[in-house]
Structure 1
Amino acid sequence: MPTSAHQCESANVTSPATVTPGPVPDPAGLLRRWRSAGQLPRQAGEARSVPDGGWSDPVTHVERLPARPGTTAPWPAWVPDQLRDALAGRGVREPWQHQAYAAELAHSGRHVVVATGTGSGKSLAYLLPALSTLLADPRATVLYLAPTKALAADQLRAVTGLGLDGVRPACYDGDTPQAERAWIRQHARFVLTNPDMLHRGILPGHNAWSHFLRRLTYVIVDECHSYRGVFGSHVAHVLRRLRRQTERYHRARPGGPAGPVFILASATSGEPARAARQLTGLPVEPVTEDSAPRGAVTFALWEPPLLPGARADTEDLTPVRRSALRESADLLADAVAAGVRTLAFVRSRRGAEVVANTARRALEEVVPGLGTRVAAYRAGFLAEERRALERSLIHGDLLGLASTNALELGVDLVGLDAVLICGYPGTRASLWQQAGRAGRAGREALAVLIARDDPLDTYLVHHPEAVFGRPVEATVLDPTNPYVLGPQLCCAAAEAALTPADVELFGGAVVKQTLDELVAAGLLRRRPTGWYWTAPGRPDVDLRGEGGAPINVVEAATGRLLGTVDPGSSHFLVHPGAVYLHQGVSYVVDDLDLEGACALVHAEEPDWSTHAREVTSLDVVSVREYQDAGPVGLFVGDVDVTSQVVSYQRRRIGSGEVLDTRPLDLPARQLRTVAVWFTVSPASLTAAGVDPAEVPGALHAAQHAAIGLLPLVATCDRWDIGGLSTASHADTEAPTVFVYDGHPGGAGFAERAYQAARTWLGATRDLIAACGCDTGCPSCVQSPKCGNGNNPLGKADAVRVLDVVLTNLPEPIDAAETLADPAANPG
Structure 2
Amino acid sequence: MASIFHGLLRDAARTTIRPVETPVAEYVAAMLNSERMAHQIAHHRMVGGVEARLGEPRRPWPAALQNALSLLGVDHLYAHQAEAVDYVRAGRHIVVATPTASGKTLTYNLPVMERCMADPEAKALYLFPLKALAQDQLKGFNELAALLPEDNRPTAAIYDGDTTPHFRKKIRNSPPNVIMSNPEMVHLSMLPYHASWAEFLSGLTHIVVDEVHTYRGVMGGHMAMVFRRLLRLCRYYGATPTFVFCSATIGNPAELCHMLTDLEVHPILESGAARGGRHMVFLNPDGSPSQAAIQLLQAALARDLRTIVYCQSRKMTELISMWATERSGQFKEKISAYRAGFLPEERREIETKMADGDLLAVISTSALELGIDIGGLDVCIMVGYPGSIMATLQRGGRVGRSQQDSVVALIAQEDALDQYFMRNPDDFFSRPPESAMLNPHNPVIMDRHLICAAAELTLRRGEVFLREEPVSKRVEELISFGQLYEVQPDTSGHPAEVVSSRKRPHRDVDLRGAGQQLHIEDNSSVREKAPVIGTIDAHRAFRETHPGAVYLHRGQTYVISDLNVGAGAVHARKERVGYYTKPRGSKDTEILEVLGQKASFGTRVYFGRVKVTEQITGYEKRSVRGGKLLGIMPLDLPPLVFETEAIWFEVGHDIRRRCEEEFLHFMGGIHAFEHAAIGMLPLLVMTDRNDLGGISTPMHPQVEGPAVFIYDGMPGGAGLTRQAFERADELIETTLKTIVDCPCDLGCPSCVHSPKCGSGNRPIDKRAAQFVLEAIRSGDPKSIEPKEIDVNLLPGIDMKKPAPKRYGVIDIETRYSADEVGGWGRADRMGVSIACVYDSDDDAMHDYEQDEMPELVEHLQQFDLVIGFNHVKFDYAVLGGLNPFHFRGLPNLDLLMEVHNRLGYRLKLDNIASATLDVGKSADGLQALKWWQEGRLDLITEYCQQDVAVTRDVYLFGREHGHVFFTNKAGQKVKLPIDW
Q: TM-score, normalised by structure 2?
A: 0.70
Query: What are structure 2's unaligned runs of at least 5 residues?
Result: 1-20, 490-494, 785-980
Deviates more, 1:328-337 or 1:59-68: 328-337
CA distance in 1, matches of 2:685, 2:98: 21
Give the 3 Å change call, closer, same or farther, for CA 381–556 of structure 1 in structure 2. farther
Contact 2:351 2:373 in 1 (8 A): no
Alignment match, 1:295: 276
Query: Secondary structure of the equivalent of 1:200?
Result: helix
Distance 2:636 2:167 in 1: 44
* Partner residue in 2 for 1:820: none
**Which residues in structure 2 correspond to 1:539-554 (within 5 Å)?**
539=505, 540-549=508-517, 551-552=519-520, 554=522
* Contact 2:460–2:498, Cα closer than 8 Å, also in 1: no
Report the Cα distance in structure 1 between the residues aligned to 2:518 and 2:132, rounded to whole angstroms.
18
For the pair 1:60 / 2:22, whether they are aligned, the reply is no
CA distance in 2, matches of 1:151, 1:792: 47
AA in 2 matched with 1:214? S
What is the match of residue 111 of structure 2? 129
**Cα distance change of structure 1 residues 447 and 352 upon mapping to structure 2, 3 Å threshold:** farther
Which of 356, 376, 383 in structure 1 is aligned with 2:318? 356
Q: 217-226 vs 143-152, which deviates more?
A: 143-152
Larger relative contact order (Cα-Cα within 8 Å, sequence gap ≥ 6): 1
| Residues in 2 aligned to 1:363 and 1:106: alpha-carbon distance in whole angstroms | 48
Shift of 1:658: 3.3
Provide the C-alpha distance between the structure 2 equivalents of 1:75 and 1:419, rounded to a whole number of angstroms.
35
Distance of 2:339 and 2:358 partners within structure 1: 14
Distance 1:782 1:28 in 2: 39
Deviations 1:324-361 (A, max 9, x none): 445445544554455332222233xxx23224323422
Residue 47 of structure 1 is matched in structure 2 by none
Structure 1 segments unaligned to the other structure (5+ residues): 1-23, 41-55, 251-257, 306-321, 814-827
Give the distance between the partners of 1:576 and 1:337, measured in 2 at CA: 48
In structure 2, the partner of 1:477 is: 438
Q: What is the aligned residue count?
A: 745
Distance 1:440 1:505, change over 3 A: same
Letter in 2 for 1:437: R
SS at match of 1:678: strand
Contact 2:338/2:347 (8 A) holds in 1: no
For 2:372, which of 392, 402, 411 is the aligned residue? 411
Deviations 1:675-733 (A, max 9, x none): 11112233322224565771111111111000011122222221111101122234434
1:206 aligns with 2:206: no
In structure 2, relative to structure 1, the CA distance for the partners of 1:239 and 1:659 (3 Å cut) is same
Residue matched to 1:602: 574
How far did 1:758 drift? 1.1
1:536 and 1:480, CA in 2 relative to 1: closer, same or farther beyond 3 A? closer
Q: Which residue of 2 aligns with 1:308?
A: none
C-alpha displacement of 1:511: 2.8
Percent identical among aligned pairs is 36
The answer for the alignment partner of 2:141 in structure 1 is 159
**Distance (Å, rounded) in 2 between the aligned partners of 1:193 and 1:135:** 22
Residues of 2 paired with 1:575 and 1:339: CA distance? Answer: 48
Q: Match of 1:696?
A: 667
The alpha-carbon distance between structure 1 residues 366 and 565, as it changes in their structure 2 partners (threshold 3 A), is same
Shift in CA distance, 637/75, structure 1 to aligned 2, threshold 3 Å:
closer
1:593-632 to 2 correspondences below 5 Å: 595=567, 597=569, 600-602=572-574, 604=576, 608-627=579-598, 632=603
From the superposition, tell whether residues 186 and 167 of structure 1 become closer, same or farther in structure 2 (CA, over 3 Å).
Answer: farther
- Of 419, 435, 438, the residue aligned with 1:458 is 419
1:265 to 243, 246, 257: 246
- Equivalent residue in structure 2 for 1:230, among 199, 218, 222: 218
**How far off is 1:802 after superposition?**
0.9
Deviates more, 1:700-709 or 1:750-759: 750-759
2:682–2:689 Cα contact (<8 Å) kept: yes
Match of 2:713 among 728, 733, 742: 742
Shift of 1:614: 4.8
- C-alpha change, 1:652 and 1:809, in structure 2 (3 Å) is farther
Which of 59, 79, 92 is equivalent to 2:61? 79
Matched with 1:253 is none
Question: 1:263: Cα distance to partner?
Answer: 0.9
Which structure: greater helix fraction? 2
The aligned counterpart of 1:516 is: 476
Could you tell me which residue of structure 2 aligns to residue 318 of structure 1?
A: none
CA–CA separation in structure 2 for the residues paired with 1:762 and 1:753 = 13
CA separation of 1:555 and 1:629: change in aligned 2, threshold 3 A: closer
In 2, Cα distance between equivalents of 1:201 and 1:768: 51
TM-score if structure 1 supplies the norm length?
0.83
Q: Are 2:495 and 1:534 aligned?
A: no
Larger deviation, residues 78-87 vs 273-282:
78-87
Matched, 1:172 2:143: no
Shift of the 30–435 alpha-carbon distance from structure 1 to 2, 3 Å rule, reads same
| Contact persistence 1:281–1:505 (CA under 8 A) | no
Residue 438 of structure 1: CA displacement? 1.6
Deviations 1:334-391 (A, max 9, x none): 54455332222233xxx2322432342243144177167221413x544444444433
Per mean C-alpha deviation after superposition, the further-off stretch among 279-288 and 625-634 is: 625-634
Deviations 1:105-160 (A, max 9, x none): 11121111111122111111111111222233221111011223332232223223
Q: Following the alignment from structure 1 to structure 2, what is the Cα–Cα distance between the partners of residues 609 and 142?
A: 48
Are the equivalent residues in 1 in contact too, given 2:602–2:778 (CA < 8 A)? no
* Most deviating of 801-810 and 115-124: 801-810
Q: What is the alpha-carbon distance in structure 2 between the residues aligned to residue 160 and residue 809 of structure 1?
A: 63
| The one of 258, 266, 280 aligned to 2:261 | 280
Deviations 1:482-540 (A, max 9, x none): 333333332222211223443x5455333332222111111223344344223133333
Q: Does 1:33 align with 2:30?
A: yes
Letter in 2 for 1:357: L
Rounded Cα–Cα distance in structure 2 between residues aligned with 1:665 and 1:173? 42
Once the two structures are superposed, residues 629-665 of structure 1 have per-residue CA deviations (whole angstroms, 9 ceiling, x without a partner) of 8983322221122335554444444533334444556
Instruction: Read off the aligned partner of 2:310 and give its amino acid letter.
Output: F
Q: How far is 1:245 from its partner?
A: 1.0
Seen in structure 2, the aligned counterparts of structure 1 residues 373 and 81 have a Cα distance that, compared at 3 Å, is: farther
Asked if the contact 2:459/2:499 (under 8 Å) is kept, the reply is no
Which of the numbers 394, 409, 424 marks the counterpart of 1:448?
A: 409
Cα pair 1:555 1:562 within 8 Å, conserved:
no
Alignment of 1:727-806 (within 5 A): 727-806=698-777
Q: 1:637 to 1:592 in 2, by over 3 A?
A: same
What does residue 127 of structure 2 align with?
Answer: 145
Say which SS state the counterpart of residue 762 (structure 1) adopts.
helix
C-alpha distance in 2, partners of 1:580/1:419? 31
Residue 374, structure 1, aligned to residue 340, structure 2: no
2:640 and 2:23 mapped to 1: Cα distance?
51
Work out the CA distance in 1 between the residues paired with 2:334 and 2:517: 34
Offset, 1:183 = 1.2
Report the 3-state secondary structure (helix = DSSP H, G, I; strand = E; otherwise coil) of the residue aligned with 2:648: strand
Q: Distance in 1 between matches of 2:749 and 2:501?
A: 51
Q: For the residues of structure 2 that align with 1:336 and 1:560, how far apart are their CA atoms?
A: 45
Offset of 1:213 from its aligned partner? 0.5
Per the TM alignment, residue 459 of structure 1 is displaced from its structure 2 partner at its CA by 1.5
Q: Could you say which residue in structure 1 is the equivalent of 2:903?
A: none
Q: Tell me the distance in 2 between the aligned counterparts of 1:366 and 1:511.
A: 58
Change (3 A) 1:684 1:812: closer
Are the aligned partners of 2:660 and 2:666 in contact in 1 as well (CA < 8 Å)? no
Alignment of 1:661-740 (within 5 A): 661-663=632-634, 668-688=639-659, 694-740=665-711
What RMSD, in angstroms, separates the aligned Cα atoms of the two structures? 3.2
Residues 88 and 788 from structure 1, CA distance in 2 versus in 1: closer, same or farther, beyond 3 angstroms? farther
Q: Retained in 1: the 8 A contact 2:301–2:331?
A: no
